[in-house]
């Protein structure tokens, strides 16, 4: 029996690719007042951004609860050698803790490991896809876990936010800092360090931000896989990919849209890149 790889919807893995690699995705929740939606199931990115830009009340997000993970773990425990559940950084979400609580409540004789990816979105997606390819190739439980851990160590992420407004509305950054960035007409560049989002600089235009992303990728060559994730800027994502294919094979690059769960905090105009700097695709 194969190993089953599970993740959460902040991995921003396209549905077709998740189906191809047999990845189970547990949705996080998006709440507009009394309305609750499951990311990717009840609300699409387009629906989220439409409401986000036309309502004064900012939505909230919450992690899947342990019962959500118990249901998914039980569903797959009968037809898998084991379960490898890989999630958004525990320093920015409680999703990892929910999955860990679910694992502890189940029969300990069935192998389930819950892994903190130390990333979200494009970075998390790369880690999950690496583990899923190993599982699909017939890798053992231990080999799939090792591949996930290796991918975490070899993954780096960098991105541009067109505005800090939505980060401020969701409490992710100080409102004074967000107001200052708007007044000065600058856009933040962000990266990950030890599971936490950290600022990597400021730029005054989207084109300059794309230049900085290109610089980031060049600095980390050679790469074995690259993921671009965007929110409502498909033309810019396509332009970024075109420039990257000047020195990276097209087949190593995937482009996807940021889901509603993270879009709540980033808003439209986010452009992220994650690279894996070692390993190999199978």
Q: For residue range 36-59, list pLDDT tens digits in order.
A: 999 999 999 999 988 887 877 778
Q: What is the mean pLDDT of residues 254-270?
A: 91
Residue 282 has pLDDT above 70, yes or no: no
C-alpha to C-alpha distance for 161 and 179, rounded to whole angstroms: 14
Q: How confident is the model over 169-219, as pLDDT tens digits?
A: 544 444 444 444 444 467 888 889 888 888 888 888 888 999 999 999 999
CA distances from 23 to 80, 125, 228, 252, 265 (A): 12, 11, 19, 19, 25
The two three-digit tokens of residue 87, written as one number: 């999630």
Strand order across the 270-276 sheet: 196-203, 187-193, 155-161, 270-276, 225-230, 253-257
Cα 217 from Cα 208, distance rounded (Å):
14
Predicted pLDDT at 265: 85
How many CB atoms within 10 Å of residue 201? 14
pLDDT (tens digit per residue) in 113-162: 999 999 999 999 999 999 999 999 999 999 999 999 999 999 999 999 88
Q: Does the structure show a pLDDT above 70 at 18?
A: yes
Residue 173 DSSP class: S
d(CA 119, CA 190): 12
Mean pLDDT in residue range 74-91: 93
Query: What pTM did the predictor assign?
Result: 0.92
């Amino acid at each position: 029996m194969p190993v089953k790889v599970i993740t959460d919807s902040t991995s921003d893995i396209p549905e077709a690719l998740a189906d191809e690699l047999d990845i189970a995705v547990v949705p996080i929740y998006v709440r507009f007042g009394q309305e609750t939606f499951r990311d990717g199931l009840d609300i699409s990115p387009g629906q989220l951004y439409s409401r986000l830009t036309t309502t004064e009340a900012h939505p909230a997000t919450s992690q899947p609860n342990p019962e959500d993970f118990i249901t998914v773990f039980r569903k797959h425990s009968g037809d898998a050698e084991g379960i490898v559940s890989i999630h958004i950084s525990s320093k920015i979400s409680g999703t990892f803790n929910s999955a860990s609580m679910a694992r502890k409540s189940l029969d300990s004789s069935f192998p389930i490991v819950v892994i903190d990816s130390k990333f979200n979105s494009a970075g998390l997606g790369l880690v999950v896809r690496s583990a899923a390819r190993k599982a699909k190739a017939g890798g053992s439980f231990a080999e799939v876990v090792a591949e996930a851990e290796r991918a975490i160590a070899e993954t780096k992420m960098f991105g541009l936010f067109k505005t800090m407004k939505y980060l401020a509305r969701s409490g992710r950054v100080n409102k004074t800092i967000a107001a200052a960035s708007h007044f000065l007409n600058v856009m933040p560049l962000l990266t990950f360090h030890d599971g936490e989002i950290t600022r990597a600089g400021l730029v005054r235009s989207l084109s300059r931000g794309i230049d900085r992303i290109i610089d980031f990728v060049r600095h980390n060559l050679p790469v074995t896989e690259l993921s671009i994730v965007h929110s409502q800027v498909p033309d810019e994502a396509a332009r970024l990919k075109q420039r990257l294919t000047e020195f990276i094979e097209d087949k190593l690059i995937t482009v996807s849209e940021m889901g509603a769960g993270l879009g709540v905090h980033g808003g439209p105009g986010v452009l992220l890149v994650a690279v894996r700097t070692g390993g190999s695709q199978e």
